[in-house]
Amino acid sequence: MKLLLVAACLAVASATVIKDDNLSGFVIGKESMVNMDVKMKELCILKLLNHILQPTMYEDIREVAREYMLEENLDKYLKVDVVKHFIETFKYGMLPRGEVFVHNNELHLDQAIKVFKILYFAKDFDIFIKTACWLRERINGGMFVYALTCACFHRTDCAGITIPAPYEIYPYFFVDSHVINKAFMMKMTKADTDPLLLDYYGIKVTDKNLFVIDWRKGVRRSLSEFDKINYFTEDVDLNTYMYYLHMNYPYWMTDDVYNLNKERRGEILMYANMQLLARYRMERLAHSMCDIKPLMLDEPLKVGYWPKIRLHTGDEMPVRQNNMIVLNHNNIKYKRQLDDVERFIRDGILTGKVELKPEDIESLARLLLGGIGLIKDDAKVLLVTNLLRKLLGYGTYNMNKYTYVPTALDMYSTCLRDPVFWMIMKRIVDTGNLFKKTLPGYTRDEFDFPGVKVEQITTDKLVTFMDEYDIDITNAVYLDKVEMQKKRSDQIMAARMRRLNHHPFKVSVDVVSDKAVDAVVRIFLGPKYDCLGRLLTVNDKRNDMLEIDSFLYKLETGKNTIVRNSLEMHGVIEQRPWTRSILTRDMDTTGSGARTIENWWYKTRIGFPHRLLLPLGHIGGLSLQMYVIVSPVRTGLLQPNIDMDTMKQRHACRWTSCIDTMPLGFPFDRKIMMTHFYTTNMKFTDVLVFRKDLSTTSNTSKDVDTSDMVMKKDDLTCYDSDMLMRRSYKDMMLMGVDNMRRMCSFDKITLLNRS
């Protein structure tokens, strides 16, 4: 842990001396960029995405934007019609610069797809960058970021390019409004000379013009019990993960245009949502909160949400009050459409009108989560999830207008923050599970691996804690004229956030094999008891098993000891570095210290945050179970058009999608017949997840007894130790239990003394 703290301090320290004008080291357009190395390509992208709310500060981008003519270079694109359609749309009028680009707005998205296409179909990287420069100076900033990010995900010549984290490009969607307001205050005034004001607002200023704004120094708004775990749902890395899932698998990318029928994209996206929901339920379980209900539209929506997000236009994301009536005369059309689609799907599953084969989960998932086109227009797809989001939006009467203030549900970068999104996800996943129920259960032969036995599973002590991390929000404030000329901001703004973390741990699995053979190892983590303390059966917790690792392993004859470090588990990433620190490293253009694409590009973009593998533990230990199954490598179970090599080339490997062709989630994706289940090649073991001192100032101090502490009346943030206050035994006796409960937001016993 000390090493992690030192690394974090070094990252912040290095950020204080890095200047944005490092980006001016390479001049775009001076020479051909076709054969440019990865690091120089990266610099081009970073320049294009820097301070996206303002015209670019770099003269080379402005010069290319002035001189490059789209209409005179139609032959430089693989599809000429794509460029012609964009030019027609651009001349007619697009989303104005300065407006908020909304992911769930059909008009905005239709234009964004046209922007993406001219970037995607550029013949080479040189034309790609010139097109991007032209767009950077002419179209809406949010739309440009969306299209450019998606193009970088899907163009083969962009492999290896590190894209700045979305919370650095546009911090407004990730940082509470009071933090943004303080950043503006520090930018516009001389408040840094008033130590009392700085202390009151929780702002620290270094001698290198680094302004660190404490995220927690503000009003805590709470509308429901869901706010107890907003440290998880509002985590910037978790929301980045959701946003990047959409970037990698956009629902509007139809097969006939982008040849995505060679991937398991539907199944991957469905399983990703199932795993997110399982991880969310595990965090709820850590707080003794029971499972959530699927979204029901015919009754008041009990759960409200206060986003605490202010957009760059000055508008606040709407607050949804508790007990909201969902249906009204503006959104009833979406309800009717949703009823028709869901009835068609469920009737097809239950009556057998849809042929039920295991591989049909791909088509069903694309129907529920996107990718099935109704007509030959990318933006017009049958998407159940979008219909549910539209029903809950406050601007349904204004959905296809330019000026539209989004709700948290409307944006892929904010939807996880809203409790209702998890209820939507529950409704979608239930439909997927209905399909799985119609499939025959796995046979004993499918579970078994003859000659292989898992003897023992051991882990290090699993310890979670809350720590601090600073994110760069400098792009949220505007540069003045002098700073534009210097090509850098005189002040670096950072928001200090609290986040869930855990110590790295190792999982050791002892396996005995009577032969040398290739195997697939899957490691799951799930609950042992439910929220009421009742022991769960295997079928009870099938949907709550979180697949934390899966990998190929060459078993040798005899005993094999498989050791997996949590930092190396498949599909997880460590903390994304500040873009400023990447600039310092990449300014060396000699070619030394090159990164490998597999280890950096893939993981940095769509990996699940390593520090969120474990739920917040208990001081006495949260009881969970770890499950390991070692299976033979099975192939040939996919649809004929699925190509695993194509998926590997596109870095679309998630879980075992590029390892074998067993359904994702095996062996828990179907109902289990207990008489067939337990074989020698699998094993359960009990584990405990502990919680260290919840102090935000030190992660190395001893555990603190909070049993005699109560929460301040207006706060639900149970993991912030500075919001706890001691009360004497005499005070508690005088006040009585009932008065204590009325004073607190919820029961002290269930909140603070979980062990």
Side-chain-side CA neighbours of residue 139 (13 Å): 31
H or E element, residue 62: helix 59-67
The 3-state secondary structure of 232-296 reads: HHCCHHHHHHHHHHHHHCCCCCCHHHHCHHHCCHHHHHHHHHHHHHHHHHHHHHHCCCCCCCCCC
Residue 190 falls inside a structural domain: no
The residue among 130, 149, 164 that closes a domain is 164
Same domain for 381 and 278: yes
Same domain for 715 and 668: no
Q: How far apart are the first and last CA of the chain?
A: 24
Q: What is the pLDDT of residues 615-655, one digit of tens each?
A: 999 999 999 999 999 999 987 665 555 665 655 555 556 78
Residue 301 falls inside a structural domain: yes
Same domain for 256 and 366: yes
The 3-state secondary structure of 595-630 reads: CCHHHHHHHHHHCEEHHHCCCCCECCCEEEEEEEEE
Same domain for 107 and 45: yes
Q: Which two tokens stand for residue 57?
A: 């500060």
Q: Closest Cα partner for 21 from 68, 58, 66, 75? A: 58
pLDDT interval class at 536 (50, 70, 90): very high
Query: Under DSSP, is residue 702 helix (H, G, I), strand (E, B) or coil?
Result: coil
* CATH code of residue 555: 2.60.40.1520
Residue 177 falls inside a structural domain: no
Residue 479 falls inside a structural domain: no
Residue 709 has pLDDT above 80, yes or no: no
Neighbours of 539 (CB within 10 A): 13
Q: Closest Cα partner for 166 from 444, 472, 425? A: 472
Q: Which residues pair with 498 in a beta bridge?
A: 468
Same domain for 384 and 346: yes
Least confident of 287-291, 595-599, 615-619, 646-650: 595-599
Q: Output the pLDDT for position 10.
A: 31
Domain that holds residue 260: 225-437
Same domain for 557 and 411: no
The residue among 664, 691, 718 that closes a domain is 691
Residue 175 falls inside a structural domain: no
Same domain for 291 and 233: yes
Average pLDDT over residues 265-292: 93
Q: Which residue shows structure tokens 């698998």? A: 249
Residue 220 has pLDDT above 70, yes or no: no
Share the mean pLDDT of the chain.
Answer: 81
Same domain for 368 and 419: yes
pTM, two decimals, is 0.86
Same domain for 315 and 267: yes
Q: What is the pLDDT of residues 307-339, one digit of tens each?
A: 999 999 999 999 998 999 888 887 888 888 888
Q: Closest Cα partner for 659 from 670, 644, 641, 669? A: 644
The residue among 395, 422, 437 that closes a domain is 437
CA distance 435 to 526: 23
Q: Which two tokens stand for residue 446?
A: 């499918």
* CATH code of residue 276: 1.10.1280.10
Residue 622 falls inside a structural domain: yes
Q: Output the pLDDT for position 741.
A: 40
CB-based burial, 167-188: b 16+ in 10 Å, e otherwise:
bbbbbbbbbbbbbbebbebbbe
The total number of structural domains in the chain stands at 4
Instruction: Give the amino acid at 674.
Output: M
Residue 110 falls inside a structural domain: yes
CA distance 400 to 104: 10
Same domain for 394 and 452: no
How many percent of the chain have pLDDT more than 90? 51
Counting beta carbons within 10 angstroms of the beta carbon of residue 8, is it exposed (0 to 12), middle (13 to 18) or buried (19 or more)? middle
* CATH code of residue 119: 1.20.1370.10
Backbone angles phi, psi at 66, to 5 degrees: -75, -40
Selected residue with higher pLDDT from 342 and 501: 501
The answer to whether 425 and 495 have CB atoms below 8 angstroms apart is: no
Residue 105 falls inside a structural domain: yes
Same domain for 511 and 370: no
Q: Output the pLDDT for position 347.
A: 84
The answer to whether 551 and 493 have CB atoms below 8 angstroms apart is: no
CA distance 279 to 290: 13
> Could you give the angle at the alpha carbon of 276 between the alpha carbons of 275 and 282, nearest 5°?
90
Alpha-carbon Rg for the chain, nearest whole angstrom, is 26
Same domain for 50 and 8: yes
